[in-house]
């Protein structure tokens, strides 16, 4: 190896210090992958962002240095933009990576689904020359299909964050399942509030009424996060949504409102007749 090649190797080799973002799944201990569990056990420090004390204590039974990221959220008397909160969390995580440690960030559910802290931390770590990766976890969506007994492959599905659907020109397909995430924040765009209002939910209902009748049945879903709990599955008409009891983990599922129709032009191109369709 030449001196130039050696220098290039040094410049491109990752620095000491490694970040791994893992998902704990939705239910305590039972939905974490074996590789994620191993990283939690062998990490120099584990940062956690989980929904309850049960999960926090479980993590502490696996590693002696578990640090919750929950205190970075605003206190009740404080108005704080969540972008600032996430930036502070990333700084805390990267401070330990820069010390050359194996750092694990254990996030509720899937670490990359509605969990920007993992993505932001990995991006920053890689920008600074550190190894950083993400391991998948069981998400609320995976639990939803299982709990409701729905195969989304039968008619397809669309998935949007509720406020994003309201603010952008997305067009739902009423022949598929529609998932709206963070329905309890529908219409909230300031990143300073942790709830929506009846008026904003009514605006969402009026928006959805372009594709779905007010009498169409929708489902409020919340995955169980402890083994002895049952998921929340509340059925109601679309018109009733503004008065629904919502929490920060509520997801809105809107089943198909109309049947799929065949694309006869495509069938002709493929040489398929209607009788060939099962």
Q: Is 212 a catalytic residue?
A: no
Q: Is 168 a catalytic residue?
A: no
Distant-in-sequence, close-in-space partners of 62: CB < 8 Å, separation ≥ 6: 37, 40, 41, 46
Q: Is 86 a catalytic residue?
A: yes
Q: Which of 57, 67, 72, 108 is catalytic?
A: 108
Q: Which of 67, 82, 98, 126 is catalytic?
A: 82
Bridge-based pairing state of the strands 217-222 and 251-254:
antiparallel
Q: 196 and 218 in contact (C-beta within 8 Å)?
A: no
Q: Which of 72, 86, 212, 221 is catalytic?
A: 86
**How many whole angstroms separate alpha carbon 182 and alpha carbon 201?**
12
Dihedral angle over CA of 195, 198, 200, 206, nearest 10: 140
Q: 103 and 20 in contact (C-beta within 8 Å)?
A: yes
Catalytically annotated residues = 82, 86, 108
């Amino acid at each position: 190896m030449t001196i130039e090649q050696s220098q290039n190797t040094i410049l491109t080799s990752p620095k000491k210090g490694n970040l791994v973002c893992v998902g704990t799944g939705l239910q305590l201990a039972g939905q974490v992958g074996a590789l994620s569990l191993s990283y939690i056990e062998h990490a120099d420090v584990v940062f956690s962002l989980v929904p309850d004390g049960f999960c926090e204590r479980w993590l502490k039974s696996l590693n002696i240095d578990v640090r919750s990221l929950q205190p970075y959220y605003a206190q009740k008397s404080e108005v704080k933009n969540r972008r600032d909160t996430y930036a502070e969390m990333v700084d805390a995580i990267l401070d330990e990576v820069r010390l050359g440690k194996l750092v694990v960030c254990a996030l509720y559910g899937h670490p990359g689904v509605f969990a920007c802290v993992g993505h932001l931390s990995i991006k920053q770590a890689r920008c600074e020359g550190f190894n950083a990766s993400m391991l998948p976890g069981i998400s609320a969506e995976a639990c939803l299909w299982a709990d409701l007994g729905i195969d989304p492959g039968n008619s397809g599905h669309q998935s949007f964050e509720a406020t994003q659907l309201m603010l952008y020109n997305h067009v739902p397909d009423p022949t598929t399942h529609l998932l709206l995430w963070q329905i309890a924040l529908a219409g909230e765009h300031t990143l300073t509030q942790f709830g929506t209002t009846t008026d904003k939910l009514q605006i969402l209902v009026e928006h959805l009424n372009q594709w779905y009748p007010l009498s169409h049945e929708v489902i409020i879903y919340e995955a169980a996060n402890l083994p002895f709990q049952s998921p929340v599955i509340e059925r109601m008409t679309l018109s009733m949504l503004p008065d629904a009891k919502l929490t920060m983990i509520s997801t809105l599922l809107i089943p198909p409102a109309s049947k799929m129709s065949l694309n006869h032009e495509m069938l002709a191109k493929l040489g398929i007749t209607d009788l060939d369709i099962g």
